[in-house]
Structure formats: structure tokens, C-alpha cells
Structure 1
Amino acid sequence: MANKSKSRGASEGEQRPAQSQARQPGRQHKMEPEPVVVREDYQGSSKLKGKVALITGGDSGIGRSAAVMFAREGADVAIVYLEEQQDAEKTAKMIEQEGQSSLLIKGDIGEKAFCQKAVEETISKFGQLDVLVNNAAEQHEAKEIDAISEEQLVQTFRTNIFSMFFLTQAALPHLRKQKGSTIINTTSVTAYRGSPGLLDYSSTKGAIVAFTRSLSQKLAAEGIRVNAVAPGPIWTPLIPASFDAEKVSKFGGDSPLGRAGQPSEVGTCYVFLASDDSSYMTGQVLHPNGGEVING
């Protein structure tokens, strides 16, 4: 069975140990405590039975949670990851423990050729594609705008938003063949309230909101729904890989609910948007952010 928790956000009111990781992408298996992937009481009901999903950044964090929940709902899942082999293999095992098939695809989503290859491998393995989840991202804290190098700026935009264009372009011919197919993009609360220390990251997340709304209008007539999720402070590998140990120890404490959220509290948003439960929704954004009231 997948990583479990007896209650939602069980002990998250407590501060977690100070910790940081030296590079991105972060490693989930090195986090203390490890994020909760799926609630113990979460029961699948075949909402995605017979469907195939492709999830970027599916090796850990929110992507892993969505992958395991999708599998529990009956979907086969292809996972795209950059280099986190141990985390990716654990996610694949979790998917298979749910009785579904998995596919691991390693590479850089900032490269258009790789995005095309990822979709081709998914089709080769499963014969179809029903759900595309554009989830992978990177962020780098910078106190001043002058500290953001051209290289970092280009890299952040390539990973966070260019990849969504590349993957959508590659996936669309296959999504058009599947009735009720969906695209789900991961944006962020920073797209709505901004983040002075994550200027380039929050800019990409704002672009993702516009991309979601525009693409939803373009594809509505074809019956392909496009929505997004805008998480707030969620305990994922991106956090210790982005901030210093002291900030990590206090992460999420300033949210209205007083704690960071768990991936298990966000993965359900992806299940909802991927399934027919959201059949009359497109161009919308869900906000699992710990109670911060924002516009949009």
C-alpha cells in the first residue's frame, strides 16, 4: 500500500526538523518526515477505470500523490522525471501495488524533442492517452532581481511553462481520440499574490494560469477540458531543495490553517479534474492553499 496517514494533516501543526537539500530536483526519500502520499481512508471508486495518464514530476510530491490516486481509481500511469531514480521507482511500485501498470520516462521536459518522445513512449506502452498532467516545476529563491541570471531565467521558464506547450502539442493528437480527455496544469498561489523571493517562478505560474484559460477556450468545442490546480504551501521535495533549513522548519506556519499541507490533500484535486465529476468545468483553477483567500 502507499504511504498513509491516519488523519488529514496528522501532526503538521508541529514544526518539522530543520533540513535542506543541496540541489534540485529534491529527493523525497531524504525528507523528514516524508510527505503523505494518500490518506488511509481514501477509497477508489473506478473514476478513472480504463484511462491512461501522463504525469510530469510524478516521481514525488504532488505528482506522486496524483499518480497513486489515479491508479487507485483504475488508471495506468506514465511518470516523467528528470533524474530522481529512487523516488521514481518507488512511485512505480506504488502504482503497481494498486493493481495498475506504470511506465517511467526519464528526461528533461524543457526539451521539445524529449516531450514528443515521452508521449510516444506512453502511446507505445498503453495504446492511448486520456489525461495529461503538466506538474513538474523548479524554483530558485533570489532576494534581488539582479540575482536572477539569464541562465536561471531561461531554465525556469523552459521547465515550468515551455514544457506545457511542448507536451500539449505532442499529446493533443492522442487526446482528441479519447472521449472526455483532460489536461491539468499545476500553477501556484504565487500566481495570484506574487512572491518577491521567487520572482521568476511566480511569473511562470502566472503564465500557466493564462495558458490554462486560453487553451480551455481553444479546445472546449472538441470536448477536451483544461483546468489547473494552484497549491499553497505543500510539503514536497521542492521545499528543502529551494530554501534554507530555518525557513523549511517554519514552512507553511503562516497559512490560515497554521501548517503546510500534504500532497495527499492536493492529489484529490487532480482526481476530480481528471474524472467526470468535473465534466462541466473547464478553464478553472482549484486552490488547495491552507485557507488563503485570493481572486481567481
Structure 2
Amino acid sequence: MTLGFDEDLPQDVYEFNEIRKKLSYNNKSGIASILKPAPVTQHLPAFDAATGKPYFKPYRGSGKLEGKYALITGADSGIGRSVATLYALEGLAGVTIVYRDESEDADALYTKNTIEAQSSCKVHLIARDVGYEKNCKEILDAHLAQFGRIDILVNNAAEQHKVLKVEDLDCDTVERTFRTNVFGPIFMTKLVCNHLKAGGIIINTASIAAYRGMDVLVDYSATKGAVVSFTRALSQQLAERRIRVNAVAPGPVWTPLIPNTFNEQEIHNFGSFPPFKRPAQPCEVAAAFVFLASDDSSFLTGQVIHPNGGTVVNA
């Protein structure tokens, strides 16, 4: 057993990947608590300097976000949970974790309890659909009532729906995907910008799909392309206000979204393309969010970081 999250952690990330490829994945709930092996939230793959043997190293904060307050959408599990956890370990004073609905209550409560048990960060939970501006206003109002201010907004909530032929795209599903992945970040950002001061941070979650496309996720790929363009345009507008806007475009990441989207063979092969031939763990992606939220990235705005396992992307 290890500290905080990541109980029953395998020896290293390669052993983890072999275990993952051998298990059966028939559940399509998207609930993190029943996903095995559980995504790694606060340990980073590392190599012993003397022997070169791989192992998992616990993330250690150094006060990069001391005393700040954040709002993170889609943070009950997966990448969002790891971002909230690393932020807390970096000294965050308080965080609002937004999740879709009551079906994710157990994941959200587990995230809250585990973060508060190992840090001084206070966690506020709220279940709302970010695809509607009214809900986004309720989210922000609740955050401000709890903490009084906001320094960091992470637009991370997303959904995807596999469709083999473009002719089979359902209009309601396309709208649903755009509401979560595009409308949500725009609505949340519009509202939060009324409260961000100089030094404020906005980070959007894009995807490698925005750059290389995914044939079975056409509408999802389109939404992530929109997120990249939104990030670039917004960064230009907010630069004079000294508010930085950046994005993270992960490659394949082991989260509950994956078994909820693909069939078992696709899950077993997930992230197997070169050069790393494995999916990332959420902590490996969340570390990029720490960098962008901290003063270490003070000269970056309008940029996209690509923790994708080595796929070369341009533009």
C-alpha cells in the first residue's frame, strides 16, 4: 500500500501496463472506483539512478501554488483528480471539484476525503453539467461563496462517443459532446474572468486528437481542435490583463473514459503505438498542469504542452 491514492500500486509502470492488458473490461459505467488497475494519481514513473530499474516515485510538492484557489471541472477522477491532488500537494488552499451528476458522487467524495487527509487543501464538491451557462454560474457562485476568490481555472471536463461512420453521427450526441467540451470551457471562462486578477491562470485540456485526428472520434476531435483555437485566441485577449491562458494536449491516458468508450480488444491495445508503447498515467499529464499553473511558466501563454508519449506534432 502506498500513500494517498494509488493503493496496491504495481512495481512499475511497465508491470502496470502488462496487468492492464490481461484484465477483462466489460463495465461501461465510467466510474473510477471500479476500474482495475486504478489509474495512478500521485506517483510518477521513474528509474533508479544506480541500477536503471523502473519504479513509481511519489509526487512531492514544493509550495508552487501556496495559498491559491482553483476550480477544476471533471475532477472527480482521471486527469482532473490527479491535477487536483498535485495542486493540493503544491500548497493549494482550496479547490472546487466539478463533476457531472450524482452517478459520480462516490468518486468525488473519495477524491475529496483523500486530498484533505494528506494536505491542508479544502475541497468543495459540486455536481453540475457544464454545458449550460446557468449551471456554470451556479458552479462559480458556489466556489466564491466557499472560498471568496479564484486564481486558477482548469477546464478539463470532457466526453467522447465512438462512431465508426460519419453518416452515423447522431445530432443530439454531437451537440452533447460540443456542450461539454467546447461550450463548457467558454461559459466557465467568461464567468471566471470577471473575478481573475493579474497573475490569474486558465488551463484548458485539449488532446492529441486535435492534431492527428481520431477516425472513430470525429466530433470529439473537432471539439479539441476548437479548444486549441479558443486557447490561442483567448491568450491574446487576456495578455494585457496579465492573465495567462495555456492548454495541455495529452496522448492516450489510462482513465475511466477509456473502458467506457472502446471495446475490450481496443482497450488492451490502447496506447500501444511507438515510441513508448503504453498509455500515460494521469499523474504524468497532471504534472504539466502544475507547471502551467505555477510561476515556472511565467513567460508562456497561448501555448499547448504535449505529454503524448513521443508523438511529434506540429502547429
Q: TM-score, normalised by structure 1?
A: 0.95
Corresponding position of 2:233: 214
Q: Secondary structure at the match of 1:88?
A: helix
Q: Deviations over 1:179-222 (max 9, x none)?
A: 31100000000000011100000000000000000000000010
Corresponding position of 2:310: 291
- Is the contact made by 1:141 and 1:242 (CA closer than 8 Å) also made in structure 2? yes
- Is the contact made by 2:162 and 2:217 (CA closer than 8 Å) also made in structure 1? yes
Change in CA separation of 1:183 and 1:232 when aligned onto 2, cut-off 3 Å: same
> How far is the alpha carbon of 1:87 from its aligned partner?
0.5
1:267 aligns with 2:292: no
- Is the contact made by 2:41 and 2:82 (CA closer than 8 Å) also made in structure 1? yes
Residue correspondence of structure 1 range 3-14 to structure 2 within 5 A: 3-4=5-6, 5=9, 9-14=13-18
1:90 aligns with 2:90: no
The separation in 2 between residues aligned to 1:144 and 1:20, in whole angstroms, is: 23
1:78 aligns with 2:96: yes
Corresponding position of 2:243: 224
Change in CA separation of 1:7 and 1:207 when aligned onto 2, cut-off 3 Å: farther
Give 2:28's aligned amino acid: A
1:52 aligns with 2:56: no
Q: What is the number of residues matched between the two proteins? A: 292
Corresponding position of 1:28: 32
> How far is the alpha carbon of 1:3 from its aligned partner?
2.0
Give 2:40's aligned amino acid: V
Q: Deviations over 1:139-190 (max 9, x none)?
A: 00000001111101111000100001100011011113xx311000000000
1:38 aligns with 2:38: no
The separation in 1 between residues aligned to 2:314 and 2:12, in whole angstroms, is: 26
- Is the contact made by 1:19 and 1:246 (CA closer than 8 Å) also made in structure 2? no
Q: Which of structures 1 and 2 has the bigger CA Rg? A: 2
Corresponding position of 2:132: 111
The separation in 2 between residues aligned to 1:278 and 1:94, in whole angstroms, is: 28
The separation in 2 between residues aligned to 1:13 and 1:141, in whole angstroms, is: 23
- Is the contact made by 1:110 and 1:162 (CA closer than 8 Å) also made in structure 2? yes
Residue correspondence of structure 1 range 105-144 to structure 2 within 5 A: 105-144=126-165
Q: 1:69 aligns with which of 86, 104, 110?
A: 86
Corresponding position of 2:48: none
> How far is the alpha carbon of 1:246 from its aligned partner?
1.6
- Is the contact made by 1:63 and 1:135 (CA closer than 8 Å) also made in structure 2? yes
Q: Secondary structure at the match of 1:54?
A: strand
Change in CA separation of 1:20 and 1:175 when aligned onto 2, cut-off 3 Å: farther
Q: Secondary structure at the match of 1:173?
A: coil
Q: 1:17 aligns with which of 4, 23, 39?
A: 23
Corresponding position of 2:185: 164
Q: Secondary structure at the match of 2:259?
A: coil
> How far is the alpha carbon of 1:16 from its aligned partner?
4.5
The separation in 1 between residues aligned to 2:114 and 2:207, in whole angstroms, is: 26
Query: Percent identical across equivalent pairs?
Result: 47
- Is the contact made by 1:110 and 1:159 (CA closer than 8 Å) also made in structure 2? yes
The separation in 2 between residues aligned to 1:150 and 1:267, in whole angstroms, is: 32
> How far is the alpha carbon of 1:94 from its aligned partner?
2.0
Higher relative contact order (CA 8 A, sep 6+): 1
- Is the contact made by 1:212 and 1:283 (CA closer than 8 Å) also made in structure 2? yes
Please give the root-mean-square deviation of Cα atoms over the aligned residues, in Å: 1.4
Change in CA separation of 1:175 and 1:16 when aligned onto 2, cut-off 3 Å: farther
> How far is the alpha carbon of 1:17 from its aligned partner?
1.4
- Is the contact made by 2:10 and 2:16 (CA closer than 8 Å) also made in structure 1? no
- Is the contact made by 1:16 and 1:32 (CA closer than 8 Å) also made in structure 2? no
The separation in 2 between residues aligned to 1:122 and 1:284, in whole angstroms, is: 27
Q: 2:270 aligns with which of 243, 251, 260?
A: 251
- Is the contact made by 2:16 and 2:37 (CA closer than 8 Å) also made in structure 1? no
- Is the contact made by 2:130 and 2:184 (CA closer than 8 Å) also made in structure 1? yes
Q: Secondary structure at the match of 2:266?
A: helix
Give 1:21's aligned amino acid: N
The separation in 2 between residues aligned to 1:79 and 1:221, in whole angstroms, is: 29
Change in CA separation of 1:265 and 1:7 when aligned onto 2, cut-off 3 Å: farther
Q: Which runs of 5+ in 2 are unaligned?
A: 44-56
The separation in 2 between residues aligned to 1:151 and 1:6, in whole angstroms, is: 41
Corresponding position of 1:190: 209
**Quick check: 10-19 or 162-171, which moved more?**
10-19
Q: TM-score, normalised by structure 2?
A: 0.90
Q: Secondary structure at the match of 2:261?
A: coil
1:152 aligns with 2:173: yes
